[in-house]
Chain A
Amino acid sequence: AQSVTQPDIHITVSEGASLELRCNYSYGATPYLFWYVQSPGQGLQLLLKYFSGDTLVQGIKGFEAEFKRSQSSFNLRKPSVHWSDAAEYFCAVGASTDKLIFGTGTRLQVFP
């Protein structure tokens, strides 16, 4: 069955530090992979997506993600975190029948 795992429920980093959020997926075919961010009281905003081609994908707000087929991973990274990045981050895989299958999310807290 298709699934997405985000092993880290909560991550705390200092402002200016680097960030990596982990995402592992299980999907039989070539996956369509997404990272979304949700601020409190808001809907989800797309950060970046991977369909095919270059395995390093650039997104908005300085985020990037790398698709590693051998590890079934699609980790999100940012070299220097800003206080405004504090939010919940969701990894998702696009499935033909279930539209988007989401991971359980990682809550990011940023300390000044």
Chain B
Amino acid sequence: KAGVTQTPRYLIKTRGQQVTLSCSPISGHRSVSWYQQTPGQGLQFLFEYFSETQRNKGNFPGRFSGRQFSNSRSEMNVSTLELGDSALYLCASSFLADSYNEQFFGPGTRLTVL
């Protein structure tokens, strides 16, 4: 069974631009979560989608948004990029949405904002 895939793997943008990251979960998984990883803040939860509905949202500004499609694939969008948005963005999928379900992580998308 294929793992979680994220595209693109690397991205370079400039301040003020917007970016869209994509995540394809493991086949059959309906929950997709997004995390931001930075050296200063560590791993922080962004949001979670289950069956095309946002279930939970972390403490991030409205510039960060996401959505999930009927095939469970998810995208996250960051508008008006700031230097501090440079990070590794990790996507994780699980079969169900409860917090005790094992989450399987993708390799991440490394975003650099110049």
To the question of whether A and B form a pair in one complex, the answer is yes
Which positions in A face B, CB cutoff 8 Å?
A: 32, 36, 41-46, 49, 51, 90, 92, 94-105
Residues of B within 8 A of A (CB): 4, 33, 35, 42-45, 48, 56, 58, 90, 92, 98-100, 102-108
Contact B105 A95 (CB under 8 A): no
Q: How far is the CB of B6 from chain A (nearest CB, A)?
A: 8
List 22 A-B residue pairs with CB atoms under 8 Å apart, sorted by A's residue number.
A42-B107, A43-B4, A43-B108, A44-B92, A44-B105, A45-B105, A46-B102, A46-B104, A51-B100, A90-B43, A96-B98, A97-B56, A98-B45, A99-B48, A99-B99, A100-B33, A100-B103, A102-B35, A102-B42, A103-B42, A104-B42, A105-B42
**A35 CB → nearest B CB, Å:** 12
Cα A102 to Cα B104 with chains together (Å): 15
B contact residues around A44 at 8 Å (CB): 90, 92, 105
Interface of B is mostly: strand
Q: Which of B33, B44, B56, B105 contacts A43 (CB 8 A)?
A: B105
Q: Is the CB of A101 within 8 A of B45?
A: yes
Tell me if A98 and B100 are in contact (CB < 8 A).
no
Closest-CB distance, A101 to chain B (whole angstroms) = 7
Q: What is the CB-to-nearest-CB distance from A7 to chain B, in angstroms, rounded to a whole number?
A: 14
